[in-house]
Structure 1
Amino acid sequence: MRETPQMKVDRYERPVAMSDPGRHAALFDGLPRGPSALATTVQGLLIHQHIAPAYGVTVGGDRQAQSQVRAVETMLGEIVARDARPLAVARAVTERQVGVCRHFTLLHVAMLRTEGIPARARCGFGAYFEAGKYLDHWVTEYWNEDRKCWVLFDSQIDDRQRELFGIGFDAADVPRDQFLVAGDAWSLCRAGSRDPSAFGILDLHGLWFIAGNLVRDIGALNNREMLPWDVWGAMRMRDSELDLAFFDRLAIVSREPDTHVDELAALDRDERVHVPGAVFNAVLDCVQGV
């Protein structure tokens, strides 16, 4: 049977796996509706581990562990354990769940899917945090039914961060040249249009880093939204160890996932990309079950 556009968006219409609120599903009852209102809700629940000082918050070692949480169900459990009020009530900045861009994105995706709005997490690089750099980042991509297209939404960017980073565009409609999905970043660098050394985070950068995000993006497109520092399969630490032809192919699927649905599904069975039962957590320097 030939797959229709509607069937493609349906794949992202319901919370599954890590986006499933599980036993906390009732917490999503009564949330405001629509991508923008839900992003505001997410911003009232989470604080970014590395941007917390801009809000006057110091994240101690004990709270940093919150950024290691993978599943929405666990995130919600920790949020309401500290404050049992409805999720639409913004928490004080000192009481928000600690995470990174991936946590903002995944919680936003889970809320959108609960409202029946097709949404998926995308792993790639943001050009709006540091001049001349494309920093490791995640955003939401949701189906805009009125426009009949996928739209990028950075649910992490609130008024404070818009000011902090000098962002002039609407975070509810991020331009594709401001956030590059991993496949676009790879293809541009392979074509010589971008410098791979501009892509990464801190002192970690290069083609190998883009390749890692390519694997993570394919995982997310298959509803396996891993931590930004989870390592498995074809990921490597050196450019010389990369199978360039394989990643060239992954880039095509990342760039145009809805025209390569069968290949995307096949990749979920490929040990080089498929998320195994245990991955290496590069931040904690250990293997963890997932």
Structure 2
Amino acid sequence: MTDYMRPGVMTDPGELSGRLDGLPADVAGVGRVVQGLLIHEFLGDLYGVTLTDAQKETVHLRKVSDMLAGIVALDGRPLDQARTPDRRLVTNCRGFTVLAVTLLRRAGVAARARCGFGTYFGDGMRGDHWVAEFHDGQRWRLFDAQIDSVFGDAIKADFDVTDIARDVFIVAGDGWRRCRDGQDDPQRYGLTGVGQGWWWIAGNMVRDAAALDNVEMLPWDCWGAMPERDREPDDWEFFDRLAAGRVDTANDDRVRVPDKVWNALRERDEAVR
């Protein structure tokens, strides 16, 4: 539990850690802060702004310290003062998640990032997605820090975003087991118009395992045992064991994050540490 109460390589706020002092310590308050600082790269129109390609480059920021530097460069006011949408840092669901995890840990709450699939985007898919998971003193709860009133209304969210059911957000390993048991269709896992299938579920399992080891990678970072696009896994038994939590992820090179990973969007190797 203590591993999820202190900063990791991606969630360390670095030199701007003092900016986090005095921010809300409750989960809903953390959500409001995060939502006032960030905007999703694909949802600018929903908030009345047009995002440029240059602005969208910040989706590749892996470390919260770099995200905070970008936020402050856009608007130097205290972080609990919501920015107008045009002054928010452009990111994605993973960015919302790691910033929320950082703030929760700063407030003394055990928290971690989870990679999986959301069922609530209205297209019938289990859409590629990240959420935070925090411990309320009794159990782990899923928390989608991206869903504010604007986005919530758009997707008709009818659930508590601070306590999402595990069949509403499906952690990657749970999705794998559901499909292997014949309870779900792997072709429903991915992103409409981009891709779907076993390769996507397996890739997100590796990303989720890394996140549980406190190394929260970008949604398009690729390494280790991840299958290539549109290809089924080479080792089904390995992913069965990974889904069951029977892999030493911190020491297995098929899962452990190396010093360099392949950024599939930029089509290049990039240093992680």
Same fold (TM over 0.5): yes
Provide the C-alpha distance between the structure 2 equivalents of 1:39 and 1:116, rounded to a whole number of angstroms.
16
Per the alignment, residue 112 of structure 1 pairs with 104
Residue 190, structure 1, aligned to residue 180, structure 2: yes
Provide the C-alpha distance between the structure 2 equivalents of 1:174 and 1:267, rounded to a whole number of angstroms.
26
Higher helix share: 1
- Where do 5+ consecutive residues of structure 1 fail to align? 1-8, 254-259
Per the alignment, residue 155 of structure 2 pairs with 165
Once the 2 structures are TM-superposed, how far is the Cα of residue 232 of structure 1 from its aligned partner? Answer: 0.3
Letter in 1 for 2:153: E
Provide the C-alpha distance between the structure 1 equivalents of 2:262 and 2:45, rounded to a whole number of angstroms.
29
Residue 277, structure 1, aligned to residue 269, structure 2: no
TM-score scaled by length of structure 1: 0.91
Once the 2 structures are TM-superposed, how far is the Cα of residue 252 of structure 1 from its aligned partner? Answer: 1.2
Once the 2 structures are TM-superposed, how far is the Cα of residue 170 of structure 1 from its aligned partner? Answer: 1.1
Q: CA RMSD in A?
A: 1.0
Residue by residue over 1:196-225, the C-alpha shift from the partner in whole angstroms, topping out at 9 and shown as x without a partner, is 000001321001100000000000000000
Per the alignment, residue 268 of structure 1 pairs with 250
Provide runs of 4+ in structure 1 moved above 6 Å: none
Per the alignment, residue 211 of structure 1 pairs with 202
| 1:37-186 to 2 correspondences below 5 Å | 37-145=29-137, 148-186=138-176
Provide the C-alpha distance between the structure 1 equivalents of 2:164 and 2:68, rounded to a whole number of angstroms.
27
- Where do 5+ consecutive residues of structure 2 fail to align? none
Provide the C-alpha distance between the structure 1 equivalents of 2:223 and 2:261, rounded to a whole number of angstroms.
6
Provide the C-alpha distance between the structure 2 equivalents of 1:42 and 1:33, rounded to a whole number of angstroms.
12
User: Quick check: 1:208–1:242 contact (8 Å CA) kept in 2?
Assistant: no
User: Quick check: 2:198–2:232 contact (8 Å CA) kept in 1?
Assistant: no
Letter in 1 for 2:3: R
Provide the C-alpha distance between the structure 2 equivalents of 1:171 and 1:71, rounded to a whole number of angstroms.
24
User: Quick check: 2:202–2:226 contact (8 Å CA) kept in 1?
Assistant: yes
User: Quick check: 2:187–2:198 contact (8 Å CA) kept in 1?
Assistant: yes
Per the alignment, residue 232 of structure 1 pairs with 223
Residue 20, structure 1, aligned to residue 12, structure 2: yes
Letter in 2 for 1:274: R
Provide the C-alpha distance between the structure 1 equivalents of 2:177 and 2:92, rounded to a whole number of angstroms.
26
Once the 2 structures are TM-superposed, how far is the Cα of residue 48 of structure 1 from its aligned partner? Answer: 0.3
Provide the C-alpha distance between the structure 1 equivalents of 2:244 and 2:124, rounded to a whole number of angstroms.
25
Once the 2 structures are TM-superposed, how far is the Cα of residue 239 of structure 1 from its aligned partner? Answer: 3.8
Letter in 2 for 1:288: E
TM-score scaled by length of structure 2: 0.97
1:287 aligned residue (249, 265, 269): 269
Provide the C-alpha distance between the structure 1 equivalents of 2:145 and 2:75, rounded to a whole number of angstroms.
22
